[in-house]
């Protein structure tokens, strides 16, 4: 671990916790910059999905109201963006598991720092990494023909929603990383969310699913985020179940899901961290 000096901030309390969290964020981001393979391999998978679905499956999938491979690519990219953000939680789970396994967290405990800083710093650093890989995905999307057909503010709102999802997913990753014994298990555990991306409208419209499965897919948080981003980007966005809350107000439902994840998993991750560091 690179040397990091953390000094208590006069006044303590929230100001101290925020300062310590930003210091740990810097430590984690420096570690990422020294191992660029993390960013490289994190970007390869979504790029492969873009190419695979755009040029292999895209010609065989028609989007209602917008047929053709070109329109499918615009339909696809919001799903790829959200998938990349969702899988970003594995960076958090693996990173925390490695820190626990190597005893780095125990070294943090010996420093005069807020305990919350370890988790906050990890979540913020991984959200920044998600933002960087999202930029790579935007460039890949532009190369295959994806375009934004809305205003700048709407587009920024879409990317902001994706980063909010990234931050929320980091806390699920933190809980997973603190619940397993090593980084390999943490990576495997994170893959349990893989079916969530396919039980959604990320790659195909939900209209072709059986009614009972479509109802589940339409309430899937991943579906609402993807639908909200498509609407904000001005991309093809066939509504799977119009007349319902997630169908008519996907952005509002997505914000609700993000808040719910934070309300549930922030306390769970903090509690798990206290249990793990009190042994």
Q: Both tokens of residue 270?
A: 């903090």
Residue 256 has pLDDT above 50, yes or no: yes
Q: Are 80 and 49 in contact (CB under 8 A)?
A: yes
- Percent of the chain at pLDDT exceeding 70: 87
Whether 81 contacts 134, CB under 8 Å: yes
Q: 4-8, 64-68, 188-192, 230-234: which range is least confident on average?
A: 4-8
pLDDT score at 11: 42
What digits encode the pLDDT tens for the residues 266-275? Answer: 999 988 888 8
| pLDDT for the residue numbered 51 | 83
How far, CA to CA in Å, does 59 sit from each of 34, 45, 54, 202?
Answer: 40, 21, 8, 16
* Residues of the domain holding 117: 13-277
Residue in 2, 1, 18 with CA at minimum distance from that of residue 113:
18
Instruction: Give me the number of domains the chain comprises.
Output: 1
How much is the mean pLDDT over the chain? Answer: 82
Q: State mean pLDDT over 152-160.
A: 95
Residue 231 has pLDDT above 50, yes or no: yes
| 187 phi/psi in degrees, rounded to 5 | -65, -40
Q: Is residue 7 part of a domain?
A: no
Q: Give the CA distances from residue 170 to residues 65, 94, 134, 146, 216, in Å, rounded to whole numbers and listed in that order.
A: 36, 11, 15, 27, 24
In the chain, what percentage of residues exceed pLDDT 90? 25
Residue 8 lies in a domain: no
pLDDT in tens, 118-145: 888 889 988 998 898 899 889 888 988 8
Question: Does residue 211 form part of some domain?
Answer: yes
Listed range (131-140, 189-198, 229-238) with the worst mean pLDDT: 189-198
Report pLDDT for 16: 72
Lowest mean pLDDT among 66-75, 170-179, 208-217: 66-75
Confidence of residue 260 (pLDDT cuts 50, 70, 90): very high
User: In this structure, is residue 35 part of a structural domain?
Assistant: yes
Classify residue 246: in a domain, yes or no.
yes
Instruction: Please state the rounded mean pLDDT for residues 190-215.
Output: 84
List pLDDT tens digits, range 17-66.
788 778 888 887 887 777 777 677 767 877 887 888 777 776 667 776 66
Residue 37 inside a domain? The answer is yes
2: in domain: no
| Measured distance CA(195)–CA(233) in Å, rounded | 25
Q: Is residue 197 part of a domain?
A: yes
The reported pTM is: 0.85
- The closest alpha carbon to 131, from 195, 1, 43, 9, belongs to 43
């Amino acid at each position: 671990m690179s040397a990091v000096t953390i000094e208590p901030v006069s006044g303590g309390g929230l100001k101290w916790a925020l300062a310590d969290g930003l210091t740990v964020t810097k430590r984690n981001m420096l570690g990422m910059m020294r191992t660029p393979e993390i960013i490289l391999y994190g970007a390869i998978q979504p790029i492969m999905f873009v190419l695979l679905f755009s040029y292999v499956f895209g010609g065989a999938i028609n989007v209602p109201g917008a047929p053709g491979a070109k329109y499918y690519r615009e339909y696809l990219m919001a799903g790829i963006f959200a998938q990349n953000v969702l899988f970003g939680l594995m960076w958090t789970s693996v990173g925390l598991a490695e820190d626990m396994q190597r005893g780095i967290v125990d070294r943090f405990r010996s420093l005069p720092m807020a305990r919350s800083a370890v988790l906050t710093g990890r979540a913020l650093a991984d959200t920044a990494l998600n933002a960087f890989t999202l930029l790579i995905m935007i460039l890949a999307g532009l190369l295959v023909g994806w375009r934004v057909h809305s205003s700048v503010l709407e587009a920024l709102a879409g990317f902001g929603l994706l980063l909010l999802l990234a931050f929320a997913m980091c806390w699920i990753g933190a809980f997973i990383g603190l619940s397993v014994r090593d980084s390999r298990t943490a990576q495997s555990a994170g893959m349990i969310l893989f079916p969530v991306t396919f039980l959604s409208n990320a790659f195909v419209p939900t209209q072709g699913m059986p009614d009972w499965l479509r109802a589940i897919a339409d309430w899937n948080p991943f579906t609402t985020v993807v639908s909200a981003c498509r609407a904000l980007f001005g991309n093809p966005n066939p509504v799977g179940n119009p007349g319902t809350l997630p169908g008519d107000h996907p952005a509002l439902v997505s914000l609700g899901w993000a808040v719910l994840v934070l309300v549930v998993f922030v306390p769970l991750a903090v509690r798990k961290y206290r249990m793990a560091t009190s042994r």
